[in-house]
Amino acid sequence: MKVSSFCLLSATLAVASAAVLPRQQLANVYTSCAVEGSVALTFDDGPYIWNKEIVDTLNDAGAKGTFFVNGYNYACIYDDDSITRLQYALASGHQVASHTWNHGHLPTYTQDQLQTQFSLTNDALLKTCGILPAFFRPPYGEYSDLVREVAAQYGLGLVNWDTDSGDSVGATVEQSEGVYTDLANRHPSTILVLNHETYQTTAEQVLPFALDALKKAGYTNFVTVAECLGMEPYQQKTQPGSRDDTWTCAGTPAPGS
């Protein structure tokens, strides 16, 4: 009797929770800015050692950038250095968004694995920086409907790009600068560029060149992705937490796996 009551209760609960679950939507995909004249420079794969130099260069130029960061890639997001970098970028008004936990190929993942990617990264950003991001960028720009569905469960919009500086796929400094020269000459009404904060040449050569070339071409509105879309950057903003035993990359999916 007890067993059957339990089963009935379980069945009732199962039906009830299914009934109250919202129908899952697909995360919106953004590949270009919406605000006329806006330029969004984005930097992936950090937080890493060139982060502060990039932030300082942007600050000196009166520009804002967006950092799509991993939990566990070039460094662990819970390292003191990583937290310092992220908090410095945020304090300067730049946007921090998710680039997933360990930079894998999302379309090859199961729903559970995708949930792990988004929850670990969102949790880490909330704990270390007090932000719950509203945007993510899939590694390699790769996504599927399942990726979009799970991202939507975590309140994340998907941001790719309309221009690739090529720094992560073997472009020389001259070639990356050529990408920006071409943008300056073509003068599109909005610009959303993919760069990577993990290259010294991007930080010290390409970025200063890009800011100069685009300013000379008449662009003045160098903003975050959220600003260029006219949206909020974070689902939640609060105070960072205090370090405890959960602030670790140990036991989580390893970089690139």
Q: Residues in the site for Zn ion, rule: CB under 5 A?
A: 44-45, 139
Nearest residue to Zn ion by CB is 44
DSSP string, the chain: -HHHHHHHHHHHHHHHHHHHSPPP-PPPEE-S--STTEEEEEEES-S-TTHHHHHHHHHHTT--EEEEE-SBSSSBTTSHHHHHHHHHHHHTT-EEEE--SS---GGGS-HHHHHHHHHHHHHHHHHHHSEEESEE--GGG---HHHHHHHHHTTPEEE--SEE--GGGT--HHHHHHHHHHHHHH--S-EEEEEETT-HHIIIIIHHHHHHHHHHTT--EE--HHHHHTS-SEEEE-------TT---TTSPPTT-
User: Nearest approach, Cβ of 196 to Zn ion (angstroms)?
Assistant: 7
CB of 44: closest distance to Zn ion in angstroms?
4
Q: Which is nearer to Zn ion, 61 or 73 (CB)?
A: 73
Is the Cβ of residue 101 or residue 234 nearer to Zn ion in the bound state? 101
Nearer to Zn ion, 74 or 215 (CB): 74
Provide the minimum distance between the beta carbon of 176 and Zn ion in the complex, in angstroms, as a whole number. Answer: 16
Return phi, psi of residue 152, to 5°: -65, -35
Q: How far is the CB of 69 from Zn ion (least distance, A)?
A: 10
- The residue among 139 and 233 lying less far from Zn ion, judged by its C-beta, is 139
Shorter beta-carbon distance to Zn ion: residue 61 or 77: 77
> Would you say 46 or 233 has its CB closer to Zn ion?
46
* Smallest separation, CB 70 to Zn ion (Å): 7
Structure-token pair, residue 176: 């990356």
User: What are the CA-CA distances from residue 120 to residues 51, 220, 243 (Å)?
Assistant: 22, 36, 16
CB of 99 to Zn ion, least distance (A): 6
